[in-house]
Amino acid sequence: MSKIIDLEGFKKISINSKYDEIKLKILKSSKTYFELEEDIDADLFHEKESEDSYFIKFTRDNDSFLNKFFGFMSNETFHATLHLSENFEEVKINFTQGDIFLEGIELNSFDNKIITGNTSIKNCKIKNNRTKLITGNFYVDNSDMINEEISVTTGNIKYRDSKIHNIDCHLITGNLKIDSLNSNFDLIKLKLITGDANLSICGKDPIYITKKLTPYSATLKSNIDLIEKDDVEMLNENRKISVKAITGNVKIKGIDQEQYSTQKGFEEKEVENVQKNENNINSEDFLTQEEKKILDLVKNKKISYDFAIELLSEIEYDKEQAEKFLDDRGISK
C-alpha cells in the first residue's frame, strides 16, 4: 500500500536518507504531493518547516546492538515519486545512496547531494542546479540549464541537446561531454583531474580561454581560434572557458550555425557537416594552440619547413610524425 503526503501550498521541499537506497522520480503534475510505493510509516519522518517549505526524512532505528557494535546497518530500497505543480520553486536532496530522475519540471533551485547514485534530468528548466556526486553519473537531456555547479568524484557528466549558459564543473575521475553549448554561452569553468572533456559549441567565432594544463599529460585541441587571457572571468564578454587539467584531453569543437540544432540529432548533423566539408581539412582540424602557431608561421613563410619540423619536435613529435603532420595539411619541403 502506497503512502501519500499532500504538499499543496508548499513551494520548497527537502528529502533526506542516510541509510536506505531511494529511487526517486520528480515529475510535473497538476497537484503537488509525495508518493511512496512502500508502506513504511514508522520509518518516514515528515513535517512542515515553514509556511512554504516541507521536510521528509527516511529514518532508521540506530540503537540496535549490531549497529552500535559493528557500525553498520542493512539497507532497504524504496521507490518514491515527487509530483510538482508549476509554481514549485526548490528541491533539496541529500541521499547516501539512490537514483534521481527529473522530467518535465521547472525549478528555481535544485540542490542534489548523493554519495552513490545517478542523476538524470530530461525536458526540464532549472535556473540554479548544484549537484554533488561521489560515485555516479550525471545526465541532462533536452533541458534549459542556466547556472550549473557540478562536482563528480568518480563518474561521467553528459549534456545532450540542451541550452547551457554557465557551468562550474569539477571532475576527479571520468569524462565530460557537452554537445550543445549555444553560441552566446557565458562561462564554462572546468577542473579535470583524470579524464577527457568534449565541448561542442554553436558557431566558430573565437573563444576566450584561460588554461592550466600539466605538460605532456594534458592536452587541449580546438578547431576554432582560442584567445588566451590571464583570467577570462574578469572579461565582460561571452564565450569564455577556463580549463584546468591534470591528466586528460580537452577537445573544443565549433559547429557552423546552420548545422547546429538542439532539437534534432546533434551528432548526426556533425556527421553531415564532415561529409559536406571533407575536402576542407581546416573545418574539422583539431589542433593545439602550439600546432596552430607553427602552421600559421610556415604557411605564411615566416619560418622554413625544416624549422617547423624542429619546432614540432619540441612538442613531442618525432621526425616522421612531424613530416606527416605537415604533409596532411598540404605543406611539403
Cβ–Cβ contacts within 10 Å for residue 190, how many? 21
Average pLDDT over residues 63-92: 76
Q: What sign has the CA pseudo-torsion 72, 76, 77, 83?
A: negative
Q: Which residue has the higher pLDDT, 38 or 31?
A: 31
Mean pLDDT confidence for 237-243: 95
Give the pLDDT band of residue 218 (cuts 50, 70, 90). Answer: very high
In single-letter form, the type of residue at position 264 comes to K
* Per-residue model confidence as pLDDT tens digits over 116-156: 999 999 999 999 999 999 999 999 999 999 999 999 999 99
Residue with cell 580561454: 209
Residue 101 pLDDT greater than 90, yes or no: yes
Distance CA 91, CA 128 (A): 11
pLDDT in tens, 156-215: 999 999 988 899 999 999 999 998 788 899 999 999 999 999 999 988 899 999 999 998
Segments making up each domain of the chain, as ranges: 1-113, 137-286, 288-333
Confidence of residue 62 (pLDDT cuts 50, 70, 90): low
pLDDT of 74 reads 52
Tens digit of each residue's pLDDT (9 = 90 or more) over 154-173: 999 999 999 888 999 999 99
Asked whether the predicted pLDDT for residue 275 surpasses 60, the reply is: no
Stretch (H or E) spanning 312? helix 305-314
Percentages (nearest 5) of helix, strand, coil residues in the chain? 20, 50, 30
